[in-house]
Amino acid sequence: MSGLHEFAAVNAPGEVGEGGQVAACTVVVDPAGLTITRADGAATSWPAHEIAAVQRDGYELTLTGAGGASVVLRRFARRTDELETALRRARADAFARLMAPPGNAPLEITEAFGADAGFLYRHDDGLRWVPHAGECWARLYDELDAVRFDAARYTLTLSGPFGTKEVSGLRRLTREVEAEGELRIARARAAFAAELAAVGLPWEDEIGAGRIRRHVPFAPTAEQLAQLEAAEGLICAERTQYWAALRPADAIARLVIGAGPEGGLRLVALCPLASGELYEVVSEADHASFVFARADDAVRAWTEVGFRREPIFVEEGVGEYRALAGLLASLRAARASLRQRVIHDEPAAWWARLK
């Protein structure tokens, strides 16, 4: 099976059925989404991320929107196949883009066929999956243990601390993705070790053994906490007093070293509270304190929304991310888990409010 690259836009005449009314129309599907222009000139546009589902019955395609509205496209004859592929691809590309960091284009896009059909996006930092129906997910090489090929079921299994995911229907490409995954996991760990060494954290052995890895919470030792405090620029100046308020209280149960919205290293302290778990970003000054019922939900979602703050932390979900939350379990869980947003003021008063 060959990977897909360029988007094949479709412009075709046919009929549209909506609300019991049928009309002749011209349909255009491009990366932005779907535009239906009726014979009377009236036009309707569906952004690609608003296409919740594409179902086919013979030569009819039923599209369901994120809000539940639906239309039926019919009488496209031989072009029905093209139209179905373009609609599924536009939808999948939109969600894959929302799950990847800005500007991180896929190296390869492959459609998987069978019972669990969808599109696999192979990026330089990991794998992202958008099924024709069901939940999306992203797995980054930084956090994975292994990418394994199960020859008996011809299935690719991705495993790590965030759980196990499987992809089938890739056919011969499965072995290629397995080999690439193992290589990229090793490269990701080496790159992480080098980044930490550059700021004064000699944790190569811990990283090589998988005990510390990017994006994954770990329980630090007293020595590691001291090393972090001495590390160059990992705790920003504006957050040193808040870090100092947490340390004597032995509040820091776990740490996460990940990637920030603009790249670089991002340090997050996770601290159990009576009301939940504090998610405290100590490497960035322009970030409030957040309390989640489970901070793990936010940690996981961070890797699946392209390291963007808005989908997780903004009170009202941004439009296209509302659609993504309907298909991305970690984002739904993170938003449902958010309990409190606390502004930084005087450190002692801040900590007293949190406790």
Question: What pLDDT digit, counting tens, does each position of 81-121 carry?
Answer: 999 999 999 999 999 999 999 999 999 999 998 888 999 99
Among 74-78, 106-110, 173-177, 333-337, name the one with the lowest average pLDDT. 173-177
Among 31-35, 135-139, 279-283, 311-315, name the one with the lowest average pLDDT. 311-315
How many other C-beta atoms lie within 10 A of the C-beta of residue 35?
A: 16
Q: Are 59 and 181 found together in one domain?
A: no
- The total number of structural domains in the chain stands at 3
Residue 127 located in a structural domain: yes
Residue 235 located in a structural domain: yes
Residue 197 scores a pLDDT above 80: yes
Q: Are 92 and 115 found together in one domain?
A: no
**Average pLDDT score, the chain:** 93
Residue 1 scores a pLDDT above 50: no
Alpha-helical (H) ranges within the chain are: 80-99, 173-198, 204-208, 222-230, 240-246, 295-304, 310-313, 319-325, 329-337, 347-354
Residue 248 located in a structural domain: yes
Q: Are 187 and 274 found together in one domain?
A: no
Q: Give the pair of three-digit tokens for residue 291.
A: 């309390």
Higher pLDDT: 66 or 117? It is 117
The 10s digit of each residue's pLDDT in 312-341 is 998 765 678 989 999 999 999 999 999 999
Query: CA torsion, points 340, 345, 350, 354, in degrees to nearest 10?
Result: 0
Residue 237 located in a structural domain: yes
Q: Are 301 and 326 found together in one domain?
A: yes
Q: Are 262 and 337 found together in one domain?
A: yes
- In whole angstroms, give the CA distance from residue 32 to residue 90: 7
Q: What's the confidence (pLDDT) of residue 4?
A: 61
Higher pLDDT: 275 or 5? It is 275
Q: What's the confidence (pLDDT) of residue 118?
A: 95
Q: Are 115 and 2 found together in one domain?
A: no
Q: What's the confidence (pLDDT) of residue 317?
A: 59
Q: Give the pair of three-digit tokens for residue 279.
A: 């998610």
- Looking up residue 156, the CATH number of its domain turns out to be 2.30.29.30
- Select from 156, 174, 200 the last residue of a domain: 200
Q: Are 279 and 311 found together in one domain?
A: yes
Separation of first and last alpha carbons in the chain = 56
Residue 207 located in a structural domain: no
Question: In which band, very low, low, confident or very high, does the pLDDT at 261 lie, cut at 50, 70 and 90?
Answer: confident
- In whole angstroms, give the CA distance from residue 311 to residue 302: 9
- In whole angstroms, give the CA distance from residue 151 to residue 40: 55
Query: CA torsion, points 174, 178, 179, 180, in degrees to nearest 10?
Result: 100
Residue 92 located in a structural domain: yes
> Do 298 and 93 contact (CB within 8 A), yes or no?
no
Q: Are 117 and 78 found together in one domain?
A: no
- Select from 66, 99, 132 the last residue of a domain: 99
Q: Are 112 and 176 found together in one domain?
A: yes
Q: Are 227 and 306 found together in one domain?
A: yes
Residue 212 located in a structural domain: no
Higher pLDDT: 6 or 203? It is 203
- Select from 30, 64, 99 the last residue of a domain: 99
Residue 11 scores a pLDDT above 60: yes
- In whole angstroms, give the CA distance from residue 127 to residue 104: 12
Phi/psi-derived region of residue 338, left when phi > 0, alpha when psi is between -120 and 50, beta in every other case: beta
Domain with 152, as residue range(s), is 101-200
Q: Give the pair of three-digit tokens for residue 196.
A: 């930490």
Residue 156 located in a structural domain: yes
The 10s digit of each residue's pLDDT in 123-172 is 999 999 999 999 999 999 999 999 999 888 889 999 999 999 999 988 77
Q: Are 17 and 71 found together in one domain?
A: yes
How many other C-beta atoms lie within 10 A of the C-beta of residue 173?
A: 20
User: What pTM was computed for the model?
Assistant: 0.93
How many other C-beta atoms lie within 10 A of the C-beta of residue 214?
A: 24
Q: Are 93 and 32 found together in one domain?
A: yes
How many other C-beta atoms lie within 10 A of the C-beta of residue 24?
A: 13
**Averaged pLDDT, 249-263:** 91
